[in-house]
Structure 1
Amino acid sequence: MTKPRLLGLQLLFGWMNLVLAIPSIYLMFGMPLVMRQHGWSGTEIGLFQLAALPAIFKFLFAVPVQRVRLGRGHFAHWLLLLSAAMLALYWLIGRQNLIDDRVLLFALTFAISIAATWADIPLNALAVQWLPRSEQLRAGSIRSAALFLGAIVGGGIMIVVQSRMGWQVPFWIMGAGLLAGCLPFALLRSRAALPERAGDVPIPGVVADWAGFFNQPGARQWTLMLLTSFPFIGAVWLYLKPLMLDMGMPLERVAFIVGIVGGVTGALFSLIGGRLVPVLGTARAIVLYLLAALCSLALLTVTVWVKLGTGWLIASAICVAASMGAVSALMFGLTMFFTRRQRNASDYGLQTTLFTAARMAVPIAAGVLLDRLDYNGMLAGLTLGVLVAFGLAWRVRGKVGESAQSVLANETD
């Protein structure tokens, strides 16, 4: 495959990851600001976050995507079908301002969350199917960068658009972006055809599919990394805004530093991190990226504990964003490496469910630490968590690196 064609596919997958991420970020992380202005209680805003629950069940959504064939352009047809459902939901939620209709707004947000979570499965199954293994680390870094940019767009820009141009306009923009991303897949769907299964070969059961994932060389060691490498630093990023506010920093400055500068830094280091993995080697990159995360959290913890001042706080926040970008790029790239081509959807769905469950559980524990031990205790606990993740990564780096190298070698052969 030529380099321009590969670049075009990478940008296409990056764009679709971006437009699938924006609606959930806008509705669940950006909208609470508007909700508060319209009299929603803290409990109501907190319960609204339950609309993110479908992400935990991605492994179940992957089953029909893997097994129910929709013609020869199997995964592409699934992606187009689910994107059409999202467009219909955008029309429903954008018809009128629902900020005072709590139940209907939650129901439609929950439905959009299901559709976006489900559509992510055929999209990234196509990335595994279409892209050479040598390009999948880059695809992971682009996906990570897209999520950071999605946080900027969904958590900031769309709120400004709604404030100035009305309730409907963000949904029109999101719908147009999704439609623009779907058109190339409609044209390229013939590439998504999978080889027909021989009639005498039985289709493995769902449980056998999942067991087969863990039976891959290095898969159990990789699962430990998947569960531990990102959630602790991700939880720190979640609590950075309230931390800075409580330390006396103005709201607008916090939004600019964390929301914009931090988001751009994370996106940039996602791309840099993905590019460096082939140079460093997977095993060395695993250790160095987690060491960077450990150092950035230690710096933030010392800054808050010793009260070094605003400058150090900003610098440590940027370091957290940079290391988080590099780690997330590595995680997404290796997720593709451990996704078998014959089980694109089921393997990807299983891994992202494990990742999401850990990513949602750690912030809850961090919140308990915050309430009982203040920021010093919370940051110390999360830094200890990254230290444990670093220790695990040090022990399994060789096995995970060998497995990734074996995947590349098998494709080359």
Structure 2
Amino acid sequence: MKKNILFGILFTSIFSPIIFFMMGLPMILQMKGFDASLIGIFQIVGIPTVLKFLLSPPVDKIVFEKNHYKKWILLAGIIYVVLLFSISFLSLEDNIYLVFTAILITAIISTFIDIPLNALAIKVFDREEHISAGSYKISAYSLSGLLGGGVFLLFYNHLGWNATFILMAIMVVGSLIVLYFIEELDTKIEEKKVSFKTIVSFFKQKNIGIWIFLLSFYFAFISAIFVFLKPYFISKGITPDNVAIYVGIYGGIIGILGGILASKISVRFSKKTLLIIFMMFNIISTFILIITDKFELNLSYLVAVVTFISLAISLSSAIIFSMIMDYSRDNSRAVDYAVQSSLFSFIRIISAVIAGIIVSIFGFGGMFLFEVVGMLLVMLGIYLFYKK
């Protein structure tokens, strides 16, 4: 229990600023009148997650005799704090591209910290504790969504840019202190290295094509809509505080409940049936959003939209993440998981960039229709070609 809480604090503090970058900044950019295409481009800060396996060599090659992973977390964490503190003094209005560059570098450091942090968790937790540890990690990520997508937006609305980033930096400093209470045994864990041959072999598996298609596009369309949900509500006249509370905080709670719901439903249906049911829910949720685009958006419609879209995001991510584990081979689970996660993250980022371009040309309504068409094509592909 103690270890779960300590690691939960670390995961939450490290991940919350990234959530703020990807889910909070779009609303801020919309408030300041930046073009939608630029909002989409800011999703590129998620690119480091695509290349995570390329960031691991330093941790493997530079080995500390005592507390190896803890020292890497501490060193990278200090750099992370300095970057967050430095960004607090930059101005979006004066130099948007400098801010973007600084945030991208900060995202790289955050992604790097995740490598020794996960390695430390593997080293510290016994095998029988893995399920419990995993559930706490998911809870930590959900809490990061509440903080990064909700609470820190409220801080920004009332305290401003400088104070918000200083508070995030202080949160990370506080979390690094818990490293003192985590005991790391001085035994090095040997892990299978990523090789080009292993990566290529994953794509040569029998009937892998339909899974690559689903991995790439099943989540991409609903994810793009969620990225632009806050900017859309701002454009409809919803106050920034209400957007932060309802989308960031309330939406995060709905997402947690959606994960529980997905686990309950999954035991009753086949994967193919679940894929179709969840995609139909995505389509219905988007149509509700399209309908609200034709009318004045009051708080009742806002709650309805956030409820459906947040549930759709949660259900879709749950089924895809479970299938990523299904398609990870026994003799190369870590490599296969990394390859699939990288492809998943890359397409999600590209979909957000494309959505931003569509919004800037055709407006939010045009983007919503585009995403619905994509969802329908994916559902058709599942019905015709998914056999497993």
Same fold at TM > 0.5: yes
Aligned to 2:79: 88
> In the comparison of the two structures, how many residue pairs are matched?
378
Structure-1 residue corresponding to 2:355 = 366
- Structure 2 residue aligned with 1:286, among 275, 279, 284? 275
Shift of residue 12, structure 1, vs aligned partner: 6.7
After superposition, residues 48-197 of structure 1 pair within 5 angstroms as 51-61=45-55, 64=57, 77=68, 81-82=72-73, 84-91=75-82, 93-94=84-85, 97-100=88-91, 108-121=102-115, 139=134, 146-160=140-154, 163=159, 166=163, 168-180=166-178, 182=179, 186-187=182-183, 193-194=189-190
Q: In 1, distance between residues paired with 2:329 and 2:353?
A: 32
Residue type of the partner of 2:183? L
Unaligned stretches of 5+ residues in structure 1:
198-202, 400-413
* 2:379 aligned residue: 390
What secondary structure does 1:187 align onto?
coil
What stretches of structure 2 of length at least 5 have no aligned partner?
none
How far the C-alpha of 1:300 sits from its partner, in A, is 2.2
Task: Report the Cα offset of residue 90 of structure 1.
Answer: 0.5
2:346 is the counterpart of 1:352: no
1:117 is aligned with what amino acid?
Answer: T
Question: How far 1:239 sits from its partner (Å)?
Answer: 1.8
The residue type paired with residue 149 of structure 2 is G
Structure-2 change in CA distance of 1:225 and 1:319 (3 Å): same
Between the aligned partners of 1:377 and 1:277, the Cα distance in structure 2 is 33
Q: Shift in Å at residue 151 of structure 1?
A: 2.8
Q: 2:217 matched to 1:228?
A: yes
Q: Distance in 2 between matches of 1:144 and 1:324?
A: 15
Look up the equivalent residue of 1:381 and give its one-letter code: F
Distance 1:34 1:368 in 2: 18
Q: Given the alignment of the two structures, is residue 211 of structure 1 paired with residue 200 of structure 2, yes or no?
A: yes
Question: TM-score if structure 1 supplies the norm length?
Answer: 0.72
Does the Cα contact within 8 Å between 2:87 and 2:99 map onto a contact in 1? no
Query: How many Å separate the matches in 1 of 2:70 and 2:272?
Result: 34
Change (3 A) 1:157 1:237: same
Percentage of pairs with the same residue? 22
Q: 1:309 to 1:72 in 2, by over 3 A?
A: same
Contact 2:27 2:231 in 1 (8 A): no
C-alpha change, 1:266 and 1:207, in structure 2 (3 Å) is same
Contact 1:269 1:322 in 2 (8 A): yes
Q: How far 1:298 sits from its partner (Å)?
A: 2.5
In structure 1, C-alpha distance between the alignment counterparts of 2:229 and 2:81, rounded to whole Å: 31
Question: What is the CA–CA distance in structure 2 between the aligned matches of 1:243 and 1:145, rounded to whole Å?
Answer: 28
Q: CA RMSD in A?
A: 4.4
Indicate the structure with greater helix content: 1
Deviates more, 1:110-119 or 1:50-59: 50-59
Q: Residues 97 and 194 from structure 1, CA distance in 2 versus in 1: closer, same or farther, beyond 3 angstroms? A: closer
Residues 295/192 of structure 1: CA separation in 2 closer, same or farther (3 Å cut): farther
Structure 2 residue 295 is the aligned partner of structure 1 residue 328: no
CA shift digits 1:174-216 (9 cap, x unpaired): 2323553x567x5355798348x9xxxxx8x721110232345
Distance in structure 2 (CA, Å) of the matches to 1:65 and 1:217: 35
Question: How far off its partner does 1:230 sit?
Answer: 1.0
- Is 1:314 the counterpart of 2:303? The answer is yes
Counterparts of 1:34 and 1:303 in 2: how far apart (Å)?
A: 22
- Do 1:226 and 1:355's aligned partners in 2 also have CA atoms closer than 8 Å? yes
- Aligned pair in 2 of structure 1 residues 137, 338: CA closer, same or farther (>3 Å)? farther
1:239 corresponds, among 228, 248, 251, to 228
**Contact 2:272/2:386 (<8 A) preserved:** yes
1:330 CA drift (Å): 2.4
Give the partner amino acid of 2:175: G
Shift of 1:398: 4.1
In 2: Cα distance, 1:356 partner to 1:56 partner: 6
Residue 255 of structure 1 is matched in structure 2 by: 244
Does the Cα contact within 8 Å between 1:304 and 1:376 map onto a contact in 2?
yes
Residue 396 of structure 1: how far off its partner (Å): 5.5
Cα separation, 2, equivalents of 1:206 and 1:347: 11
Deviations 1:41-77 (A, max 9, x none): 779x867665443233234335x3897595899xx95
